[in-house]
Amino acid sequence: MRAVVQRVLNASVSIGGQMTASIEKGLMVLIGVEVGDTEKDARYIADKCVGLRIFDDEKGVPNLSVVDVGGSILAVSQFTLSGDARHGRRPSYIDAERPEKARPLFETVKAYMREGGASVESGTFMADMQVSLVNDGPFTILLQSKKEF
């Protein structure tokens, strides 16, 4: 499982011009479920997102989590994170999990985030979404449950 975590001042998701989810200060998390991912991968990504100490403390040092600062998480499923563009110019998505398996794992990630104390909003699985955000910093972290980077 892969995730792109961005510290944001605000973020939102719209579908067909209608805003469906939004947060203020917090994390925008794009989540890609890959073939072979399990509940263990979902737990890893959720725990990392909730626990990442990337918000500034009173000294201006990134030492606080999204929960510590009372922020929220906007989670969006994005199968294209599994794209492999190493060969040619058209990415291959063969490593992306099929929707019928990916959806429950995406829901599990969100449930674990909530269990960890985070307020979680969400995009709509498999919808054509327009995502807006103001990246704070910018501060962006890449996570992968298989720990390849």
Q: Which residues belong to the active site?
A: 78-80
Angstrom CA distances, 107 to 13, 91, 114, 149, stand at 17, 26, 11, 24
Q: 64 φ, ψ to 5°?
A: -120, 150
**Rounded CA separation 31/112 (Å):** 14
- 96 near 33, Cβ under 8 Å? yes
How many Å separate Cα 61 from the centre of its chain?
A: 23
Give 103's contacts (C-beta < 8 A, 6+ positions apart).
77, 125, 126
- 47 near 67, Cβ under 8 Å? no
